């Protein structure tokens, strides 16, 4: 589907897991938050598999995540989309950026950037070396966005946000020298093409939002509403992930795990509901979802289980 204008009264949400391993409690929390926000407002909820990063994809993980979501009673609209099937579309949008001269080819190697200052997310702040033409002749170039100015937006959970792209992020990569499109480009194009109006996701992506809004404005796309949920961290303060050895969710007890996810999100499910059939739990959760109860924090320790 391709829509550039979305009906204002229509809510379209989505969940976009990366298939780097089985669904763990952290990704379940994000799925639950985005699902309930959409369904409690009569919205549609789409599923997208963010499988651009070949090196991090785990064989079978995408199917495993979809099967777990189904078992937990999530119902999505339409077929799940895979980013790996959309490369020509990203190429088309990169060409648009080239035509606008919003991007420039960059020949800098990682080593050449190693002395640059650090951006907020730990990546190197690009010193602008190739802004006026590639510094060196190389067989392959990355494409970087020329950044300027600041982005402000209001996050429904985390409050007002301000980001000076030039100083805090720098000219960012939209296609790497090895040809891989960057997440920042893909997510903007995907959300737009699917008509997504509300992005409810983990707060680890709060700091990516300025870049995404910047791209939306270059393309003339509308900006969705953003709500960044607290990220589940372990006792060491690390985000649950494959790298931190987060255990796969126990799919033999869906209601238990869903009740834990609801409590993590500040909702107050009655204790008995953990023993009820999963359909009843969803009925309760959709009827009682309150975004205002979600903790206004970037991270929350997983102390429930």
Using CB under 6 A as the criterion, which residues of the chain lie in contact with ligand GLU when the complex forms?
A: 16-18, 50, 187, 201, 205
CB nearer ligand GLU, residue 86 or residue 104: 86
CB nearer ligand GLU, residue 145 or residue 231: 231
Residue 78 backbone zone (phi > 0: left; psi -120 to 50: alpha; other: beta): left
Per this entry, what is the length of the chain?
305
DSSP states along 256-293: HHHHHHHHHTT----GGGGGS-HHHHHHHHHHH--GGG
Q: Least separation, in Å, of the C-beta of 232 and ligand GLU?
A: 12
CB nearer ligand GLU, residue 185 or residue 285: 185
Q: Least separation, in Å, of the C-beta of 14 and ligand GLU?
A: 7
Q: Least separation, in Å, of the C-beta of 271 and ligand GLU?
A: 31
Q: 10 Å Cβ neighbour count for 138?
A: 14
CB nearer ligand GLU, residue 50 or residue 171: 50
The residue with its CB nearest to ligand GLU is 50
CB nearer ligand GLU, residue 16 or residue 285: 16
d(CA 251, CA 304): 17
Q: Least separation, in Å, of the C-beta of 231 and ligand GLU?
A: 10
Contact 188, 218 (CB under 8 A): no
Q: Least separation, in Å, of the C-beta of 273 and ligand GLU?
A: 28
Contact 226, 9 (CB under 8 A): no
């Amino acid at each position: 589907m391709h829509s550039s204008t979305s009906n204002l009264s229509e809510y379209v949400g989505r969940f976009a897991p990366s298939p780097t391993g089985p669904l763990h409690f952290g990704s379940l929390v994000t799925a639950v938050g985005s699902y309930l926000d959409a369904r409690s407002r009569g919205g549609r909820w789409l599923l997208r598999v963010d499988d651009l990063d070949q090196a991090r994809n785990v064989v079978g993980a995408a199917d495993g995540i979809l099967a777990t979501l189904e078992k937990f009673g999530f119902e999505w609209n339409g077929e799940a989309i895979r980013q790996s099937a959309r490369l020509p579309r990203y190429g088309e949008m990169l060409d648009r950026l080239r035509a606008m001269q919003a991007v420039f080819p960059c020949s800098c190697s990682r080593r050449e950037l190693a002395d640059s200052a650090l951006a907020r997310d730990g990546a190197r702040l690009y010193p602008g070396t190739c802004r006026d033409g590639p510094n060196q002749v190389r067989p392959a170039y990355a494409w970087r966005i020329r950044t300027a100015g600041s982005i402000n937006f209001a996050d429904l959970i985390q409050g007002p946000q301000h980001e000076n792209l030039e100083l805090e992020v720098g000219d960012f990569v939209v296609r790497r020298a090895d040809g891989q499109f960057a997440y920042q480009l893909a997510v903007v194009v995907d959300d737009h093409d699917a008509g997504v109006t509300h992005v409810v996701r983990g707060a680890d992506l709060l700091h990516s939002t300025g870049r995404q809004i910047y791209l939306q404005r270059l393309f003339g796309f509308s900006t969705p509403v953003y709500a960044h949920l607290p990220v589940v961290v372990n006792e060491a303060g690390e985000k649950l992930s494959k790298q931190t050895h987060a255990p796969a969710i126990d799919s033999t007890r869906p209601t238990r795990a869903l009740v834990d996810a609801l409590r993590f999100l500040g909702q107050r499910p009655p204790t008995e509901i953990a023993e009820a059939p999963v359909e009843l739990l969803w009925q309760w959760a959709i009827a009682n979802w309150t975004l205002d109860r979600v903790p206004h924090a970037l991270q929350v320790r997983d102390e429930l289980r």
